[in-house]
Amino acid sequence: MQGKEASEQETQKCIAGIDVSKNWLDAHILPSSESLRVANTSVGIRQLKRWLLKHKVDLVAVEATGRLHREVYRSLAASQIAVAVTNPYKVRMFAKAAGIAAKTDRLDAKVLALFASAMSPVCRPPAPQTLEAIQELITARASAVKERTALKNQRSAATNIFLKAQLRQRINQVAGHIRAIEKECLRLIKANAGLARRLAILTSIPSFGTVVTMTLIAYMSELGTMTIKSAGALAGLAPVADDSGERQGFRVIWGGRTKIRTALYLAALSAQSCNNDLRAFYRRLLEKGKAPKAARLAVARKLLILANTLIAEDRLWQPTRPQTA
């Protein structure tokens, strides 16, 4: 028995969790329960990397934090260390399920290690820096659009002539920022041969405008490599079952990438006027009793499947599918 226990200890994987904050990187290793805190700087990352390599870790889990985790993620991946970027919501739910109510940076690092050990999250290489730049620009554009909407609402409620003039100037200024951001996004995409080809394929689909296409390019690089089911789940467009015993619950969509789902929903709205096949599909769903919103989500899912297929086949959209020999 003692020999068996020793053998199990020898084969047990070494897992690390890294909690990322603005100033610090807190790491925790299992099963040795060793911890380390370093500054979230280039020097600190090198120190952390040497420590992880010394312990010969098999997997490192890093919580997604927007931009803060990117440098350590890229540095570890460059040193051939397996890194999984985890969903903060899933990690928090895991902590609650494990009865861990407290939350500190050091404890969060331990929770991440426990999560990685139990759930074995998928390791993916870091996104190309061009894609990260496009994502940052699209996020900035979304903020500018919200600001423009708020200014328009404020102007419509204003009665003071001076204030209305000031708000109009600000609206025009923000509109200029939005156009400049879109232009820069397109420049970055067209400068990359692979992304430029995706741009051409996606914009050939009726109802796919520039903004929808840029969003898909930036936030769904997996397009062309997925199955129908995985594509729907990743975009949050796959209905989730809610059955128990003889009860059949109402199917709803949940999770996935919100930005992708929002972009495809807007494309589905446009498809009702510029895509004959999808317009007919939408009407058939309404005739069967589907709610308009549910029918539009089904159209959005169809558009996603179409985009995935076209990129996989590396061809532009055509009114009729080309015949294969």
**Exposed / middle / buried, residue 246 (Cβ in 10 Å: 0-12, 13-18, 19+):** exposed
Which domain covers residue 74, as residue numbers? 14-119
Do 81 and 149 have their domain in common?
A: no
Q: Phi, psi (5° rounding) for residue 187?
A: -65, -45
Do 199 and 319 have their domain in common?
A: yes
Of 144, 165, 189, at which residue does a domain stop?
189
What pLDDT, on a 0 to 100 scale, did the predictor assign at position 9?
A: 47
What pLDDT, on a 0 to 100 scale, did the predictor assign at position 56?
A: 92
What pLDDT, on a 0 to 100 scale, did the predictor assign at position 241?
A: 72
Do 241 and 323 have their domain in common?
A: yes
Residues of the chain below pLDDT 50 = 1, 4, 6-10, 325
Do 185 and 196 have their domain in common?
A: no
Domain count, the chain: 3
Q: DSSP assignment, residue 23? A: S
Do 301 and 203 have their domain in common?
A: yes
Nearest to 118, CA basis, from 48, 17, 36 = 17
On whether residue 6 sits in a domain, the answer given is no
Do 39 and 66 have their domain in common?
A: yes
Do 312 and 197 have their domain in common?
A: yes
What pLDDT, on a 0 to 100 scale, did the predictor assign at position 30?
A: 94
Which amino acid makes up residue 179?
R
What is the pairing mode between strands 15-20 and 59-63? parallel
Do 204 and 307 have their domain in common?
A: yes
Q: Tens of pLDDT along 53-83? A: 999 999 999 988 878 898 999 999 999 999 9
Nearest to 54, CA basis, from 70, 34, 69 = 34
On whether residue 109 sits in a domain, the answer given is yes
Q: What is the CATH number of the domain that holds 30?
A: 3.30.420.10
Do 196 and 181 have their domain in common?
A: no
On whether residue 60 sits in a domain, the answer given is yes
Q: Tens of pLDDT along 9-39? A: 446 789 999 999 999 999 999 999 999 999 9
Do 87 and 58 have their domain in common?
A: yes
Of 162, 189, 216, at which residue does a domain stop?
189
What pLDDT, on a 0 to 100 scale, did the predictor assign at position 5?
A: 52
* Cα diameter, the chain: 87
Do 43 and 148 have their domain in common?
A: no
Q: Which residue's structure tokens are 């996603």?
A: 304
On whether residue 247 sits in a domain, the answer given is yes
Do 185 and 214 have their domain in common?
A: no
